[in-house]
Amino acid sequence: MDVDNFSQEIEELRSRVRGIWQRTATQPNSHQELIIAAFNELQMVVEELLVASEELEVTRARAERERQRYQELFDLAPDGYLVTNIVGKILEANYAAAIILSVRQQYLIGKPLVLFIAQQDRQIFSSLINNSQQIQDCIIDINPRLGTPFPASVRAAPVYNSQQKLVGWRWLLRNISETKQAQERVAKRTVELAKANEQLLGEITERKRAESQLLHLAFHDVLTGLPNRALFMNRLEDAVNYSKRHSDYLFAVLFLDLDRFKLINDSLGHALGDQLLLTVAQRLQECLRSVDIAARLGGDEFIILLVGIKDVVEVVAVVERIQKKLALPVILGGQEVFTTASIGIALSITGCQQPEDFLRDADIAMYRAKTQGRACYEIFNTDMHIQAMAHLELVNELRRAVELREFQIYYQPIVSLSSGKITGFEALVRWLHPKHGIVLPEYFMSIAQETGLIVLIEQWVLYEACGQMQQWQEQFSSNSENLPKSPLSISINLCSTRFSEEKLLPHINKVLQDTGLNAPSLTLEITESVIMENNDKAIIRLKQLRNLGIKLAIDDFGTGYSSLGRLHHFPINQLKIDRSFVSGDIIDGNLDIVQTIITLAHKLGVDVTAEGVETEEQVAMLRKLSCEYGQGYFFSYPLDSSQAAALIMANPQW
């Protein structure tokens, strides 16, 4: 029972006693009866009062416990709680509020709360206590008695009495400095993360760009930007697979190799050579449809895939369009340059099953076109494959021959036409094939040149021939008086690869030192085409060779395209007239040519050796023309070393 109910109960009892007295006053009862009735009524009232008192005590105890619990919660709350009157004077404050405001709890009572509000936020505080309509939240700076001001979260709740009149405020204070610092750290970190995210996005974009670039580089030629072999083979494989499912689908593979590109590249330099390749790549693309593909294999080699063609006539039309386009002049370094291409064609109707087979067949056809001259094309057939396999077998056999040294040097004498005596020999290499016997140079030298094996072969020939000549000079120097008075010489052919090789001079010098042969006893024979291909560099290289003390001869003179106006610049010792001008009847047709060459040589102060001398009449005519030396079957066939030694010993005279 609460206090209000107990008061109401007392009032009701008082009314009942008053009613008894009024009722008995009007009745004619005796005084004794009145007392008894009043006592009984009073006893009942007392009993009821005792019961009400007990209930009130229980209610008070419960209320005290609730108040105590509230006080404990109030005091031990982690946040600051205060109660103020309507003007902000503190009436109650918990322990947390005292800690927050840096004031002892008992000293807070009676103090205006505004004293602890930062000056700049007091206007906000005034607006809070002047607005009694609702609970309000805000952030203000608290200025504690001791310590540093800090931000606080404030909640103000109005307090009303039973008549709904505002009688005060309840305040909740919470120090949010750490929260604010955390928010600032979060904001700062958010900015940092935003920057990091932006940087990451940039890196991802850059990585994607790099990956795209790498992917492009993986499938495209760096110089021309054309697809490379890998991308081309992917497209070719698609075409092959499609043709297997559709029998009427035709395609063609073209293999292009530029003619004379090496000469242009060496003459004008690699930078202009690259510019030429760029121009060629652009022109090839201009000749093709969007569905076709042109790729660069490397160097001056290009490949083209023509898809969905009607017949071979359409392919030939494309090839002729390409050749016509490539034949147009190109301006490189201020001068006009012309180029053409040899083109091999492989058609899908050949029945190959693998993409590599089509590329191989087109390559074979291209090499066949190369042999036909410049700006030619060839369509692959099975005979070409058979010949290519034979060529490959020959290359492999030649490589084995170099490793096993299946070669032998034969020596053909060079005779002085004035004395009729041997003055030296030309070293001629022969391949001692294990199956085919002796193979002449004309059957394997071109392959040796093509594969680069010529370098190893000629190095071996130079060493062996110089060593053999040194041995003969020692063997026959002190013998019969009939032997040659001057030392015999050895002539060795030098190919174009060796002539332009940087290591040539050190190698020759080392061979002379190792064999002990005197430099004047060695003559290097170089074709005029090799000299003309190297242009001004040839003069420098010839002078370097002459400085070693060796002699130089232009071989096969008359078959090349040398400029007679520049011939006197070449530091040579000898011209060798090609056998095509000497063999047969020298009087018919070639006499004037031979006489002109001999006269020219004498004007230049060099000797002449006539190759291919086969008859006594030819010898007589050459002597009449004052030709110094002769070489050919009339004097001797090429001999092995023992036969040549026997010929030296015999010392014949013609």
**CA dist., res. 625 & res. 639, Å (int):** 28
Q: Is the pLDDT confidence value at 62 over 80?
A: no
pLDDT for 25:
58
Would you place residue 323 in the very low, low, confident or very high pLDDT band (cuts 50, 70, 90)?
A: very high
How far from chain centre, in Å, is Cα 437?
A: 51
pLDDT for 621:
92
State the Cα angle at 322 between 319 and 327, rounded to 5°: 125
**Following CA atoms 446, 447, 453, 454 in sequence, which dihedral angle do they give, to the nearest 10 degrees?**
-10
Stretch (H or E) spanning 385 = helix 382-404
Amino acid 129 reads I
Mean pLDDT of the 486-506 span = 86
Crossing angle (nearest 10°) for helices 382-404 and 453-476: 40
Stretch (H or E) spanning 25 = helix 3-25
pLDDT tens readout for residues 222-269: 999 999 999 999 999 999 999 999 988 999 999 999 988 888 887 788
Q: Is the pLDDT confidence value at 556 over 70?
A: yes
**CA dist., res. 572 & res. 564, Å (int):** 14
Give the max Cα distance, the chain: 205
pLDDT for 74:
62
Top-confidence residue, 210 or 35: 210
- Return the percentage of the chain with pLDDT > 90, whole number: 43
HSE-CB of 377 using CA atoms within 13 angstroms? 23
Q: Is the pLDDT confidence value at 515 over 60?
A: yes
| Strand partners of residue 81 | 172
pLDDT for 565:
59
- Return the percentage of the chain with pLDDT > 70, whole number: 87
pLDDT for 176:
87
pTM for the structure as a whole: 0.54
CA end-to-end distance (rounded Å), the chain: 163
**CA dist., res. 571 & res. 553, Å (int):** 9
pLDDT for 34:
64
Mean pLDDT of the 61-76 span = 63
**CA dist., res. 607 & res. 574, Å (int):** 5
pLDDT tens readout for residues 391-410: 778 888 999 999 999 999 99
Instruction: List b or e across 525-552, with b for residues whose CB sees 16 or more CB atoms inside 10 angstroms.
Output: bbbbebbebbeeebeebbeebbeeebbb
Q: Is the pLDDT confidence value at 35 over 80?
A: no
pLDDT tens readout for residues 625-634: 999 999 999 9
Task: Report the chain's mean pLDDT, rounded to a whole number.
Answer: 85
3-state helix, strand, coil in the chain (%, to 5): 55, 20, 25
Amino acid 374 reads R
pLDDT tens readout for residues 518-539: 999 999 998 877 777 666 777 8
pLDDT for 124:
87
Contact 593, 621 (CB under 8 A): no
pLDDT tens readout for residues 113-165: 999 999 998 988 888 888 766 788 889 999 888 878 899 999 999 988 888 88
Query: Pick from 86, 137, 147: which is nearest to 116 by CA?
Result: 147
Contact 42, 19 (CB under 8 A): no
pLDDT for 472:
94
HSE-CB of 365 using CA atoms within 13 angstroms? 25
Mean pLDDT of the 549-554 span = 93
pLDDT for 449:
85
pLDDT for 43:
73
pLDDT for 71:
60
Mean pLDDT of the 441-449 span = 87
Amino acid 150 reads F
81-90, 503-512, 588-597: range with lowest mean pLDDT: 588-597
**CA dist., res. 550 & res. 513, Å (int):** 13
**Following CA atoms 509, 511, 512, 513 in sequence, which dihedral angle do they give, to the nearest 10 degrees?**
90
- Give burial (CB, 10 Å; 0-12/13-18/19+) of 632: buried
Contact 537, 556 (CB under 8 A): no
Would you place residue 501 in the very low, low, confident or very high pLDDT band (cuts 50, 70, 90)?
A: confident
pLDDT for 325:
94
Q: Tell me, what DSSP letter sits at residue 649? A: H
**CA dist., res. 83 & res. 585, Å (int):** 141
Helices in 220-290 by DSSP H: which ranges?
A: 229-245, 261-268, 270-286
Mean pLDDT of the 343-363 span = 89
How far from chain centre, in Å, is Cα 100?
A: 66
**CA dist., res. 450 & res. 367, Å (int):** 12
Give me 98's structure tokens: 């005292």
Would you place residue 17 in the very low, low, confident or very high pLDDT band (cuts 50, 70, 90)?
A: low
**CA dist., res. 426 & res. 635, Å (int):** 13
- Other C-beta atoms closer than 10 Å to the C-beta of 252 total 26
Mean pLDDT of the 607-635 span = 93
Q: Is the pLDDT confidence value at 480 over 70?
A: no
pLDDT for 591:
86
How far from chain centre, in Å, is Cα 170?
A: 74
- Give burial (CB, 10 Å; 0-12/13-18/19+) of 157: middle
Stretch (H or E) spanning 71 = helix 31-76
Query: Pick from 113, 122, 169: which is nearest to 141 by CA?
Result: 122
What length is written for the chain? 654
Would you place residue 643 in the very low, low, confident or very high pLDDT band (cuts 50, 70, 90)?
A: very high
State the Cα angle at 473 between 467 and 474, rounded to 5°: 90
Contact 43, 54 (CB under 8 A): no
Mean pLDDT of the 556-584 span = 76
How far from chain centre, in Å, is Cα 442?
A: 44
pLDDT for 70:
60
Would you place residue 7 in the very low, low, confident or very high pLDDT band (cuts 50, 70, 90)?
A: low
Top-confidence residue, 17 or 442: 442
Mean pLDDT of the 60-71 span = 65
